Structure 1
Amino acid sequence: MEENKEYNILLYYCYAKIENAEAYREEHHLFCVENNIRGRIIISDEGLNGTVSGLKDDCEKYMAFIQGDPRFAKTEFKIDKHDKHAFTKIHVRYKPEIVHSSLRHLDPNVRTGKHLEPEEFKALKDQEDVVILDVRSNYEHELGHFKNALTLDIDNFRDFPEKVKELEHLKNKKVLTYCTGGIKCEKASAFLLEQGFEDVYQLHGGIIKYGMEAGGEDFEGKCYVFDNRIAVDVNKVNPSVVSKCHVCGTPSDRMVNCANSTCNIHVAICEDCGWELEGACSPECKEHPEKRPYDGTGYYQKNTNGYNPYKGLYRESNKETKTVHEPATNS
């Protein structure tokens, strides 16, 4: 029941210059720990990128914390209701980019594709001189994509620049880019402009916002998400299933990670094959010594490598800096 969904899942990003980003990572992480926010957050010199979960009130505090900082006041949150945390832990990492793109020289605050709100995207997408370009990876667009979208054979977004060479014949078209939440399109559309494409757009807020505000019409299949839900419904108007079970080939939008941790591919596997192969993508992976226990979800918590969420965190108290000690039991 909707009224029982006391948790929120937040998806957001913000391109903004952060001086001493590693120190801000510490401050940001402490806030999350103290307010029971869980998820994955990247802090970079170029901005923030996160997917987090928490009780509704805690998420309200978290959004106020971010938007209360003048650097991030423009941050827009995609908010989804849920019945529990979508993550088991909190990780706030410093990385060179907020999305690995190999396009560090591009600043979306300087130049990027024109932002289209969901209803604007919906009105424009079927016009004759328009190309809808999916800038996500193979495992994402194989699970779901817009009707008639052009997809690229890439395993990671950092491969996008090389693939643009194949799109030269589309320079006279309106190019509408889209991704999960909008962050990849900021750099992708900026790169297209740099390469001589003149009429470039991006779906503001990505697939997730399109589903929330425009009903998800003509998005075929499900949308891959980076939390323990793995895949979510988007289309409330004309839904369909476009992906097939990796094992038996029957239509299936049940996305899993292979239980063999050395394989770990993201593929659709139907319920029956999932249990028969114990979450593995093949008989070989089922017998592999690194196969993880399968609980029917196909989601596995990433190896944290001894990561301690309290390490290095400090708070000011009575004008003295005190270390925040980790609890006696730290899961």
Structure 2
Amino acid sequence: MEKKYSILLYYCYAKIEDYEAYREEHHLFCVENNLRGRIIISPEGLNGTVSGLKEDCEKYMAYVHSDARFADTEFKVEAHETMAFAKLHVRVKPEIVHSSLRHIDPRQKTGTYVEPQDFRKILEEQPEDTVILDVRSNYEHNVGRFKNALTLDIDNFRDFPEKVKELDHLKGKKVVTYCTGGIKCEKASAYLLEQGFDNVYQLHGGIIKYGIEAEGKDFEGKCYVFDNRITADVNHVNPSIVSKCFITGEPTDRMVNCANPECNAHIPMTEEAGWLMDGCCSDECRKNPARRPYDGTGYYQKNTNHYNPLKGVKREPAKID
């Protein structure tokens, strides 16, 4: 099947003083060019995942680059068969990724970039003085991670600073961080530097760029993504499965959201277990009266009836503390 659509993943740390006005302008541009996705605009920059026809995505990238503030924005572009989102959300938030590290400005301090091909060599050679550090959350690295990477037991990136206290023994080593698209590493690597780690690097463009430019070699499992796909294939050289079904323990890289909306846990689950449990992670969730009907996918799109992409173009200003 010809892939007529594109999925764009990007971020840009740049000062935005008129963030409310820019949010309205940005939202309207997306509507006029048939784009959907999730976009965050904040005083510190942009962060987004956007989907649309290839030609519409080209217009969007040109639009972002035409603004001097975002001229150096790097887009990770993946081809896709269909639109990857059902709706468009353009929101104002205090940060472009919730980090609890609002005092850090990656434009002033961040870890040194390692390009995908150089990162691939590090993975192949596995130097004793080098640590590959995954800064993502549990549900992300449980379904996929780099070979021999150090993972952290965190449910959200905002928990990262607390976990760094357990990494003091690594201060004499070269630490290379990675995440999905690079955005979390900008602040994570800067925070490591702030805490006395003096040899800190980050995978430029994250797992997605590594898959595009270095064939994804030695990335084990699949990459958790924040669109309708849930996970994406990255490794085109030596793919493997690292996650196990939450119910049966069998190897699987199929991810679902628990059918109980009050739980909504992100878990690996085989098709057989999915039907057996009606898409739920436990009998308790299965018995919840709010349980959503399971259709075999484990993905629950919010109701899109009467979807109006113009809704919210003009609204009450967000409060930024």
Shift, 1:122, TM fit: 1.4
1:212 offset after TM fit, Å? 0.9
Aligned to 1:209: 209
- Which 4+ stretches in 1 moved above 2 angstroms? 301-304, 306-314
How far apart in 2 are the matches of 1:303 and 1:201?
42
Matched residues in 1 for 2:71 and 2:50: separation?
A: 18
Q: Which amino acid aligns with 1:121?
A: F
Percent of counterpart pairs with the same letter? 73
Higher relative contact order, chain-length normalized (CA < 8 Å, sep 6+): 2
Moved more, 287-296 or 244-253: 287-296
Q: Determine the C-alpha separation between the residues in 2 that align with 1:71 and 1:302.
A: 33
- Residue of 43, 46, 52 corresponding to 1:45: 43
**What is the letter of the counterpart of residue 41 of structure 2?**
I
Q: State how far apart, in whole Å, the 2-side matches of 1:64 and 1:296 are.
A: 38
Could you say which residue in structure 1 is the equivalent of 2:319?
A: none
Gaps of 5+ in 2: 316-321
Q: Secondary structure at the match of 1:244?
A: coil
**Which consecutive residues of structure 1, in runs of 5 or more, have no partner in the other structure?**
315-322, 324-331
Per-residue deviation, 1:300: 1.6
Q: TM-score, normalised by structure 1?
A: 0.91
Residue 284 (1) aligns with residue 258 (2) = no
CA–CA distance in structure 1, aligned partners of residues 239 and 312 of structure 2: 47
- Which aligned pairs between 1:2-81 and structure 2 lie closer than 5 A? 4-81=2-79
**Cα shift readout 1:202-231 (whole Å, capped 9, x = no counterpart):** 000100111111111111111000001001
CA distance in 1, matches of 2:206, 2:96: 16
The question of 1:233 aligning with 2:233 is answered yes
Provide, for residues 174-228 of structure 1, a one-character-per-residue CA deviation record: whole Å limited to 9, x for no partner: 0000000000000000000000100100000100111111111111111000001
Alpha-carbon distance in 2 for matches of 1:293, 1:206: 35
Q: What displacement does 1:292 show?
A: 1.0
Alignment check: 8 A CA contact 2:248 2:273 kept: yes
Following TM superposition, by how much is the alpha carbon of 1:260 offset from its aligned partner in structure 2, in angstroms? 0.4
- Residue type of the partner of 2:103? H
Q: Which amino acid aligns with 2:287?
A: E
Structure 2: which amino acid aligns with 1:269?
Answer: M
Task: Name the counterpart of 1:94.
Answer: 92
**Equivalenced residues, count:** 312
1:182 maps to 2:151: no
- 1:320 corresponds to: none
**Alpha-carbon contact 2:87-2:307 (below 8 Å) kept:** no
**Residue 22 of structure 1: how far off its partner (Å):** 1.3
TM-score computed with the length of structure 2 as normaliser? 0.94
For 1:254 and 1:263, locate their aligned partners in 2 and report how far apart those are by CA, in whole Å: 18
2:254 corresponds to 1:259: no
CA distance in 2 between counterparts of 1:254 and 1:84 reads 20
